[in-house]
Amino acid sequence: MIWKRKLRDETTELIGGEQVDAGLPIAQPDDQPAPTIVESAPAASGEVWRRPAAEPGPMLPRFMASASDDVETDLANESARRRLALRDALGASQPVIARESFAGRRDAMSDLINAVEEQRVHVVIYGERGIGKTSLAHVFAETAREARYLVIYGSCGTAANFSDMFRSVCARIPRIYHTSVLPNSAEAEKGENFEVMLPDGPFGARELADVMAGVVGTRVLVILDEYDRVVDVNFRREVAELIKNLSDRAARVQLVITGVALNLDELIGYAPSIRRNITGLPMRPMNSAEVKELLRLGERAAEIRYDAAALAMITQMAGGSPYLVRLLGHQAGLMAMNDNRNVVGDADARVAVERVISDWQASLPRRVQANLARDEARVHWGLLVAAARAGSSADGWFTVDDVYAEMGGAHSPLAIERDLKLFVNTVDLLERREGPGDPHFRFGYPGVASLLMMSAAMARLAA
Ligand SMILES: Nc1ncnc2c1ncn2[C@@H]1O[C@H](COP(=O)(O)OP(=O)(O)OP(=O)(O)O)[C@@H](O)[C@H]1O
Ligand SMILES: [Mg+2]
């Protein structure tokens, strides 16, 4: 069962004139009916919050500032300036790209630098959705550029194609860094890049490594972000082959890949000998000191303060996800500012959690919402929450034993397995992976596990 209650009447689409920035997956049109929305307020668990439609008010909301961001001259409004500052500091829809907006992660950063600089290996940074892989990659890129690495960032899409991706990587490596080009030669003067050395048309890892092995005078780091989105098996096999070839030839080119743990296993599976040339870097949930540091960014920007209770609630509810810390911190901060208070308290944090759960729920595809509202989900709510907790590892996969441990031995492993299968076969909420060892399960749609955990935590608080 999932927890649901009616939102307070003043909860509308806009908070302080600013659209709630959930940054969540957009609901897809689906032919399944959405579950009924409960408008009453049962305090028990088992239902999900829904935001009521905004009441028509006397005045339509307006933008706070012009698109030029020039608040001072447009509105001369100090409060609007602080709201915008809070949004800039804690808005959750974009990865962080600059060090000033990046909190914590010192260990991850030093492990990454160490892997690249000391061990000279290729790296796979892996972790669940929204844990901060892209942000780490960007800030690492900035740091590496300061050390004069030539860093090339590429974001993979579902349609990524090996030749196209690496042709554009090569187009960004100046030819003067190739061993065959002398500094003052005609080729060097022409300002060409590595792309001219590639064959016309599609090429594979070997041909690419032939070209890349010629890098001298710098070191090249190729960041392949969102690698888990790549669908083409051939692309992934070629990347494994490329790592092998680059390593065999001691090329001055290293790959930094962000994805999920499975990507690491798969790369090694394709080319077992690369095991010693590749390292996996799991992104762990943020600890409470890192959460505090992240919220500090909002405090400084908007001249507010999160009190100890608000901090504790946000830390607990976010479960180490920087994405959720920002979302909750932003919402709670706005609540206090709307009330002309500079101190954000636990009541603000609680309303923020309510809003985030409600927005989150509404952003899931109707099919997923309908499945969460089914009787089976209500009956096995405890199991689903335990599964969500069990799945909060770097790749979201969990086993029957993991769920058994989360449930404190309250149900037998056999019963747990049977019930998990129900959510694979009958109610489409989980995926199942067979393979060597125990069967693995995970939630089929990103965000469902976090929603369940937050709903459960809120239900506990209400109780
Ligand atoms: N160290 C950090 N400091 C401050 N904010 C962070 C940090 N890491 C991540 N965030 C924030 O968390 C959110 C998710 O981060 P990011 O996009 O980097 O995660 P991701 O793991 O790449 O997600 P995905 O799996 O969807 O690609 C973003 O809003 C980002 O601004
Ligand atoms: Mg990312």
Q: pLDDT tens across 421-460, in order?
A: 999 988 999 999 887 778 899 998 878 988 898 888 888 8
Number of domains present in the structure of the chain? 3
Which atom of ligand 1 is least distant from the CA of 283?
A: 21
Q: Is 396 in the pocket of ligand 1 (CB under 6 A)?
A: no
In this structure, what CATH number is given to the domain that contains residue 129? Answer: 3.40.50.300
Q: How far is CA 229 from the centre of its chain?
A: 13
Give the Å distances, CA to CA, from 156 to 151, 228, 397: 16, 8, 22
Task: Choose one of 365, 393, 422: the last residue of a domain.
Answer: 365
pLDDT at 380: 92
Q: How far is the CA of 94 from the centre of ligand 2 (A)?
A: 9
Q: How far is the CA of 391 from the centre of ligand 2 (A)?
A: 19
Whether residues 150 and 274 fall in one domain: yes
Which atom of ligand 1 is least distant from the CA of 129?
A: 25
Task: Give nearest CA residue, ligand 1 atom 15.
Answer: 132
What span, in angstroms and rounded, lies between the C-alpha atoms of 333 and 335? 5
Q: Which helix (H) or strand (E) holds 248?
A: helix 233-248
Whether residues 308 and 272 fall in one domain: no
Specify whether the CB–CB gap between 283 and 132 falls below 8 A. yes
Q: How far is CA 109 from the centre of its chain?
A: 17
Give the Å distances, CA to CA, from 179 to 175, 210, 211, 212: 9, 12, 10, 10
Mean pLDDT (the chain) is 83
Whether residues 121 and 134 fall in one domain: yes
Domain membership of residue 143 (yes or no) is yes
Ligand number, closest to the Cα atom of 94:
1
Whether residues 119 and 87 fall in one domain: no
Cβ burial of 158 (10 Å; 0-12, 13-18, 19+) is exposed
Ligand 1 pocket test: pick from 133, 156, 296, 323 the residue with the most ligand atoms within 8 Å of its Cβ. Answer: 323
> What φ, ψ does residue 229 adopt, rounded to 5°?
-80, -15
- Which residue, 388, 387, 357, is CA-closest to 458? 357
Domain holding 404, by residue range, is 369-444
Cβ burial of 243 (10 Å; 0-12, 13-18, 19+) is buried
Task: Choose one of 253, 282, 311: the last residue of a domain.
Answer: 282
Domain membership of residue 355 (yes or no) is yes
Whether residues 361 and 436 fall in one domain: no
Whether residues 255 and 352 fall in one domain: no
Predicted confidence (pLDDT) per residue in 243-294, tens digit: 999 999 999 999 999 988 778 888 888 888 888 999 999 999 999 999 999 9
Q: Is 105 in the pocket of ligand 1 (CB under 6 A)?
A: yes
pTM (predicted TM-score): 0.80
Predicted confidence (pLDDT) per residue in 322-336, tens digit: 999 999 999 999 999
Reading the block at residue 350, the tokens are 């609680």
Task: Choose one of 282, 314, 341: the last residue of a domain.
Answer: 282
Ligand 1 pocket test: pick from 24, 90, 96, 229 the residue with the most ligand atoms within 8 Å of its Cβ. Answer: 96
Whether residues 321 and 259 fall in one domain: no
